[in-house]
Chain A
Amino acid sequence: MKTYENTGNKDTRSGFGAGLTELGKTNENVVALCADLIGSLKMDEFKANHPERFFQVGIAEANMIGIAAGITIGGKIPFTGTFANFSTGRVYDQIRQSVAYSGKNVKICASHAGITLGEDGATHQILEDIGLMKMLPGMTVINTCDYNQTKAATLAIAEHNGPVYLRFGRPKVANFTPVDHNFQIGKAVQLTEGTDVTIVATGHLVWEALEASKTLNEQGISAEVINIHTIKPLDDEAILKSVGKTGCVITAEEHNYLGGLGESVSRVLVKNNPVPQEFVATNDTFGESGTPAQLMDKYGLNAKAIVEASKKVISRK
């Protein structure tokens, strides 16, 4: 079984910051906007290097999205930065009309997504954003798993013409994907080969899926782990190819099971190859305060939960 080395815990938001810093140097059309969260979004370096291309809009997310839509008119590529909650639910209609429907080349970059935001609690822990954003026609939705992948995705979305939602997080987590790899939007990454169960994971749950696959392997269960960084457009082909072999699937995400990756995978399965599926996701609930590890455990979003779900789904084959 292929194994992956954690080269040292890092936060995905710092991957975004590093990507943005690089874009500042390589693409003069890239501009950045922030709603009073420069430090949290790791946008400091871009701001210091390119003050003329950096727009501090204050605590006014609706205005930020509108300015981002407008600044594309003239050829700029805006990257907006705030927490995932304020990047989506708070400004949904602004994104819908001024960005998505208007077909504007805006990159909505959202940190502190999901329950691992931790102690701030449910007001800030959005678990509905993937659903909100994937529903918008023309919107690309990406949820990256580690520092390296987030940096690579940040670079890749600048080259993609169209609105993108890039979702990442706050805590320091395992960094295991290759440095400066070529990120392909919409192309799943198969991490391990297996025959008994497919684990389709996104974001912070990808490392947990790898950990789970090790435990399963020790117990004689062969798991195929797929990193779905792009939830829309979904790599249907990669999912179908894998379940064609394993005959069952786990979806794992730091998001409500309603509207998330799991439902997107279900749609693909039911139309093509209806095999048993189990959801590792939050169960239509808000989060709460706690450490990220405590919350991931309480809400069933870790390797342990993936192992249990895998055994259950295999028993349903």
Chain B
Amino acid sequence: MSNTIKLQDLTTQVRRDILRMVHKVNSGHPGGSLGCAEFFVALYQEIMKRKDHFSMDGIGEDLFFLSNGHISPVYYSVLARSGYFPVDELNTFRLIDSRLQGHPTTHEGLPGIRIASGSLGQGMSVAIGAAEAKKLNGDAHLIYSLHGDGELQEGQNWEAIMYASAKKVDNLISTIDLNGKQIDGATDDVLPMGSIKAKFEAFGWIVITIKEGNNIDAILKGMTEAKSQTGKGQPVCVLLETEMGNGVDFMMHTHAWHGKAPNDEQLEIALSQNAETLGDY
């Protein structure tokens, strides 16, 4: 089995996990989670240099920070299927006494999580801090972060974007999930942001665009290129063009599934479009 097929099978299974998790508790955010499934699989399976055993300080390994914490379903699924905690625990998503809170947190001690996120716009600053710690520690590993495009409306991002280039934080790769949608509609309708690429470039970042953000090979190629651009005195931004709700036909091309769970019938249809590959939890 080729590596791409292996990663695609995992992605399909991750989609099933996402759908089943949000369906069970009739809440959560499937749209952005589905749109970023390929990215998370590529990141955790191929791109990041990770240690098997989780430690908060993450010395000697690459680290990832999720800023748009509402896409916790894809994060939890990929963390579990990358060995951070038992896959069965996905059953507890959003339930009382669970480590899998609605939005990711360190508070319940879930391995793989290094910061709470959900209140938007804070993750890039945290990622910069972790990147500065790497430099102080003489640790050549990289920091990755993911942010929603709508999330860029939060002003703190621009403080962070300004800082990262001014202070040459060149061990940081921040990816923007460019799906063009947010809760209230298209980002261009809610608050048009113009060219995000031009903005990052104007702030002194190296920008790499992945046009096919739901294609594993395209992601691997783009992220490999991003890695090659680190260490050059500038932070690196990846613009990942994704389709919200990817892999479930009726969840695509709309913002309607940003924060809505499928009902029984909708779940059945959605799962039928994503046949079980590695086994459901």
Binding site of A, secondary structure by majority: helix, strand, loop or mixed?
Answer: helix
A90 CB, min distance to chain B CBs, angstroms:
11
Q: How far is the CA of A68 from the CA of B132 in the complex (A)?
A: 10
Report yes or no: A71 in contact with B119, Cβ–Cβ below 8 A: no
A226 CB, min distance to chain B CBs, angstroms:
34
Report yes or no: A70 in contact with B58, Cβ–Cβ below 8 A: no
Contact with A along B154-179 (1 / 0, CB 8 A): 01100110110011000000000000
CB-contact partner of B129 in A52, A58, A71, under 8 A: A71
Contact with A along B120-154 (1 / 0, CB 8 A): 01111111111111101101000000000000000
A60 CB, min distance to chain B CBs, angstroms:
4
Q: Given A70-B125, A75-B133, A103–B107 Cβ distance below 8 Å?
A: yes
Q: Determine the chain A residues whose CB is within 8 A of the CB of B220 once the complex forms.
A: none
Report yes or no: B136 in contact with A31, Cβ–Cβ below 8 A: yes
Report yes or no: A70 in contact with B127, Cβ–Cβ below 8 A: yes
Q: How far is the CA of A74 from the CA of B135 in the complex (A)?
A: 10
Contact with B along A77-112 (1 / 0, CB 8 A): 010000000000000011011100111100000000
Q: How far is the CA of A98 from the CA of B58 in the complex (A)?
A: 17
CB-contact partner of B137 in A74, A93, A101, A102, under 8 A: A74
Q: How far is the CA of A104 from the CA of B125 in the complex (A)?
A: 14
A139 CB, min distance to chain B CBs, angstroms:
14
Contact with A along B35-62 (1 / 0, CB 8 A): 0000000000000000000001111000
Decide yes or no whether B63 CB sits under 8 A from chain A.
Answer: yes
B154 CB, min distance to chain A CBs, angstroms:
9
CB-contact partner of A101 in B116, B133, B160, under 8 A: B116
Contact with A along B58-75 (1 / 0, CB 8 A): 110001010000000000
Decide yes or no whether B106 CB sits under 8 A from chain A.
Answer: yes
Q: How far is the CA of A104 from the CA of B106 in the complex (A)?
A: 10
Q: How far is the CA of A52 from the CA of B135 in the complex (A)?
A: 10
Report yes or no: B116 in contact with A97, Cβ–Cβ below 8 A: yes
Q: Given A52-B136, A97-B117, A102-B106, A63–B156 Cβ distance below 8 Å?
A: yes
| B129 and chain A: residue at smallest CB distance | A70
A69 CB, min distance to chain B CBs, angstroms:
5
Q: How far is the CA of A76 from the CA of B136 in the complex (A)?
A: 9
A23 CB, min distance to chain B CBs, angstroms:
15
Q: How far is the CA of A62 from the CA of B90 in the complex (A)?
A: 33
Q: How far is the CA of A273 from the CA of B123 in the complex (A)?
A: 46
Report yes or no: A60 in contact with B116, Cβ–Cβ below 8 A: no
Number of residues of chain A lying within 8 A (CB) of chain B: 32
CB-contact partner of B122 in A76, A78, A94, under 8 A: A94
Decide yes or no whether B114 CB sits under 8 A from chain A.
Answer: yes
Decide yes or no whether A53 CB sits under 8 A from chain B.
Answer: yes
Q: Determine the chain B residues whose CB is within 8 A of the CB of A73 once the complex forms.
A: 56-58, 63, 114-115, 126, 129-130, 133
Report yes or no: A69 in contact with B129, Cβ–Cβ below 8 A: yes
Decide yes or no whether A67 CB sits under 8 A from chain B.
Answer: yes
Q: Determine the chain A residues whose CB is within 8 A of the CB of B163 once the complex forms.
A: 57-58, 60, 63, 67
Report yes or no: A74 in contact with B139, Cβ–Cβ below 8 A: yes
Q: How far is the CA of A70 from the CA of B63 in the complex (A)?
A: 11
CB-contact partner of B159 in A63, A78, A97, under 8 A: A63
CB-contact partner of A103 in B106, B130, B133, under 8 A: B106
CB-contact partner of A67 in B106, B116, B129, under 8 A: B129
Q: Given A52-B136, A76-B136, A102–B125 Cβ distance below 8 Å?
A: no
Decide yes or no whether B231 CB sits under 8 A from chain A.
Answer: no
Q: Given A62-B159, A63-B160, A97-B117, A71–B105 Cβ distance below 8 Å?
A: no
CB-contact partner of A53 in B136, B159, B167, under 8 A: B136
Report yes or no: B125 in contact with A62, Cβ–Cβ below 8 A: yes
Interface centre among B117, B129, B155, B156 (most CB of A within 10 A): B129
Decide yes or no whether A289 CB sits under 8 A from chain B.
Answer: no
Q: Given A63-B160, A74-B136, A101–B105 Cβ distance below 8 Å?
A: yes
Interface centre among B59, B127, B132, B139 (most CB of A within 10 A): B132
| B127 and chain A: residue at smallest CB distance | A70
Decide yes or no whether B118 CB sits under 8 A from chain A.
Answer: yes
Report yes or no: A67 in contact with B125, Cβ–Cβ below 8 A: yes
CB-contact partner of B126 in A76, A96, A98, under 8 A: A98
A31 CB, min distance to chain B CBs, angstroms:
7
CB-contact partner of A98 in B56, B125, B133, B167, under 8 A: B125
Decide yes or no whether A66 CB sits under 8 A from chain B.
Answer: yes
Chain A residues in the interface with B (C-beta under 8 A): 31, 52-53, 55, 57-58, 60, 62-76, 78, 93-94, 96-98, 101-104
Name 17 interchain pairs, CB-CB below 8 A, sorted by A. Answer: A60-B162, A65-B125, A67-B126, A69-B129, A70-B65, A70-B126, A70-B127, A70-B128, A70-B131, A71-B130, A71-B136, A74-B58, A76-B133, A93-B122, A94-B156, A97-B118, A102-B115
For the complex with contacts A66-B126, A69-B125, A74-B136, 18 further pairs of A-B residues with Cβ separation under 8 Å are: A55-B167, A62-B122, A62-B156, A63-B163, A66-B122, A67-B128, A67-B129, A67-B132, A70-B115, A70-B127, A70-B132, A70-B133, A71-B130, A73-B129, A76-B133, A97-B117, A98-B122, A104-B115
